[in-house]
Structure formats: C-alpha cells, structure tokens
Amino acid sequence: MSFLPGFNFEQRLFYPHQTVNHQISDEFDYLVLLLEREALASDRVFDHDYLDYLKKIKEDEVVITTSKEGSRFWWGEVSDVELSQKLNSKIFSHQVAKNFDLIPDSCRLIENAFDFKNHIQQFQEYSRWVVKSPYSFSGLGNKVFDRTHLPQLEWNEPVLLEPWFNRTLDIGLTYLKQNRFQDHFGVQNLNDLQGRFKGALIQPFLPEVEELHLKLKPALQYLSSFAPENNIQIDAFYYLEEGQRKVYPLVEINCRKTMGWVTWSLWKKFTTQNVGVFLMWPMSALKKCDSWKSLENIIGEQMWNKDEPKGFIPLSPLDRKFMTFFLVESNIKQAQNQIVELWKKLSKKESPLPLEFMIYF
C-alpha cells in the first residue's frame, strides 16, 4: 500500500471541481515518509542527504513510489462524501456546540447582511470581530475586523461570526478512531494573531485537556454515533473577559488528521516523558541554506541527540514554503530558551521571534 499526501482534504471534500495546485496541497508530504512504513506516492525528487537523514532518525527505510495506483489519501480518506461534508462543516460544528451549550451567546451563524450588522449592534461590548467561512481550515480565510469597518461579504454561503476574543490558550483535543474514540490526547496550539496554526506543544499532563474532555463527553458521544471515517478533533480555547478566565469548549470539529495528531505522533516516536514542540516557520523569514549539511551545521549542538534525548529534529526538506521542526526538551522554560536561540541563528537580520512562539511567557 502507498499514500498520497492528500492535504487538500477540504478542497476535495467541498470544492471537487476546482483545479488543485499539488505543490501547495502536498507541502507536508514528507510527514508520510517520517511517520509511516508504507510508501509515499509522489513524483517529487527529494535531496539524497535529506533522505539519508530521515532514514537515520526514523531507524527504518524511507520508501517513495511514482505509482499512484491503489494509493490512499493519508491526511483523510473519504468514502462517504455526504457524511464527511457534514462532520467537517463549521455549520455542523456550530450546531453541535449550540445544542450542547458549548459556545458563547455572542457567536452566531449568519446568512445575510442584515443579520450580520444587527448581530454586531446587539453586542456593543465587543470592538473586534472575526468572520469564518464554513469550509476553511487552520484559520485560513478568517477575516478579522473592527466594528466600525465592516468587511464586504458575498452571501453565497452562511458564515460564522464571533467576537475576536482575548485568547490566552488554544487547545486541540483528538479522539482516536482506532480505539472507537475512547482514547484521547490534547495539544496546546500555537496560533498567530489571526488564529492561523503555526505550531503545537505537547506534554505528559495539561490540566485544561481533562477539563475540556469532561465538558465535551456528551457531544463526543453524539459525534461518535455517526461512525466517522477518521479521528474526531475538536478545537477549543480559553480567553479573558471582564477580568475572568472563560472557555469556548467547541470552536470547530475536524474529522481527519491534524497537525495536533502529527505533534502527538512525533512525541510518541521521540519522547513521552518530556515536552515536545512542533514548529512551523516560513522560509521567507529564514536565511537561505544551500544544503542539508549546512542546515545541520547551523543548528549545531541544538540538534536532537538520541542518547539524551533532547534537541531539534528538522523535519522538512529545504524546498518548501515552511521549515518545520520537532523540539524535545525537559520543560517548557528550557524549550523556550532553545526556540529563541535557534530563531536567532536562522532568521533573517535577527528579526524578533513571533509572539505565537513565546510559549513560556
């Protein structure tokens, strides 16, 4: 068996007639090489030094085939299109959250311009808002705006309208299909100021994960009754409002692999006793590396050491839009120090570390 990357999951599901840019949709295809024993079905040519490096850290063969025959989509398989469209729509997520009292009253599904303006006027206490497409992912396409400058929207589909809450902690909970959704784990998502995913942190115990799990149990039972084809992943976040810490337990549902699952899989592979951090840095912000060996030399003593085990594990080839790493450290404070130090080495003109990666403060 072989895997097609399939990171264009939402496009295949909701917009099947659109032309696919495979270079963009397969940005993270190397994760198949690292996390699976089966072959990656791809026409890409990978650097030999990079493949040798992957074999070394994987301690197994790295297999690539150009044959697509019989391949399955790795990021998310879809045999029941109607069910998958339902479960992965933010409209459905909103309905579930509302039915199980897992959403603030200020969050609404909006279908026309009149209701859009009217809802914002009803909640004068919020100055900033965000509008979300029901079929987007990872925060892409979110429009954040001030109440005095409303965006122009095309009303060919409903949108989710929410206050731009003062988020303090983003959590992703995953319930595993392989154990009938009885087993779960959680990661702290590192999102930027627009709510777009940039990384994740995992550790042996995070109290908010168990608190959210208790709140989500009734909704999970309902969701599992649909017999989803893939894992159930639920995004949540904590926020400050009027000096109080509050929680939004069910922001959206994804039934496919996620970067939270990737973070957990890397953590299971390289450490379960320490802190693990998945990082996604844009290549445009980094100095250019001419070869894989030169990248290893720049990282130097911060490279992962199997004998300890601690350090950075570079994940992505050098020809991608994002350079990704997995960091293993003994605690969050030490992880933060290591992230700051590596950013200084790799960033152009020693630009400041983006706020989403300030995990300790």
pLDDT digits 0-9 by tens, 8-19: 898 888 888 887
Q: Examine residue 270 and state whether it is found in any structural domain, yes or no.
A: no
- 104 alpha carbon, distance to own chain's centre: 23
pLDDT digits 0-9 by tens, 79-116: 999 999 999 999 999 999 999 999 999 999 999 999 99
With 80 as the cut, is the pLDDT of residue 23 above it? no
With 70 as the cut, is the pLDDT of residue 211 above it? yes
What's residue 195's pLDDT?
Answer: 82
Q: Which residues pair with 187 in a beta bridge?
A: 172
What's residue 331's pLDDT?
Answer: 94
Q: Examine residue 52 and state whether it is found in any structural domain, yes or no.
A: yes
Q: Examine residue 266 and state whether it is found in any structural domain, yes or no.
A: no
The number of beta carbons lying within 10 Å of the beta carbon of residue 341 is: 14
Q: Examine residue 111 and state whether it is found in any structural domain, yes or no.
A: no
State the residue range of the domain holding 26.
Answer: 1-77
CA 84/CA 74 separation, integer angstroms: 15
Q: Examine residue 59 and state whether it is found in any structural domain, yes or no.
A: yes
Q: Examine residue 326 and state whether it is found in any structural domain, yes or no.
A: no
Domain count, the chain: 1
pLDDT digits 0-9 by tens, 326-338: 999 999 999 999 9
Q: Examine residue 22 and state whether it is found in any structural domain, yes or no.
A: yes
With 70 as the cut, is the pLDDT of residue 140 above it? no
Residues 6 or more apart whose Cβ sits within 8 Å of residue 332: 201, 203, 275, 359, 360
Q: Examine residue 43 and state whether it is found in any structural domain, yes or no.
A: yes
